[in-house]
Amino acid sequence: MKYVRLLIISVIAFLVVISGVTALLPSQVKISRAANLNARGDSVLNYINDLSKWKYWYPGFDTLQLENTGMQNGKTVTATVKNIRLRIIASNDSLVTVEMKKGAQPVYNSWRLIHYPSSDSVTLQNYMDFHFKWYPWERFAGLLLDRSYGPLMEQGLKNLKNVGVADK
């Protein structure tokens, strides 16, 4: 009985320490990548703000089928891919934001076009916003997001660079 009580107290103390440590971790993580493009910004953004064109540049989308698509102004603005609901929530001449939702927590993936007045190139910044609840496993997972999503974002920017140059 004495060892059982010690085990229960140890487990509770361990959980309190883990919860305390994870309370110090951020509840929001933003991952960002950028690339300079020698292309017209509007042609690049046309590939981003139409989900049906993601197959040309977004890594892995070339083999996937868009389902439950919604159209607006001749562009696909909502779709489902592998149980992930995609919805363009902002689109203008310098920013496109897509809400990616699987389950309750959405992830916001944005592409911002930065123009330079004295240059013929533009910078395209891709960033993803993740919001976490207080759960320790979600907060710890936030530490690994850059390694898992960073290379995917870099490849997407590289593909957009090649697509944008082809449209120039």
pLDDT score of 165: 54
pLDDT score of 87: 93
pLDDT score of 23: 67
In 3D, which of 158, 135, 119 has the Cα closest to residue 34?
A: 158
Topology of the domain covering 28-166: Alpha-D-Glucose-1,6-Bisphosphate; Chain A, domain 4 (3.30.530)
pLDDT score of 14: 84
pLDDT score of 110: 94
What is the model's pTM?
A: 0.77
**Mean pLDDT per 10-residue section of the chain, whose length is 168 residues:** 84 80 70 84 83 90 85 88 91 91 87 83 87 72 76 89 65
Helix (H, G, I), strand (E, B) or coil at 30: strand
pLDDT score of 167: 57
Where in the chain are the domains? 28-166
Rg (CA), the chain: 21
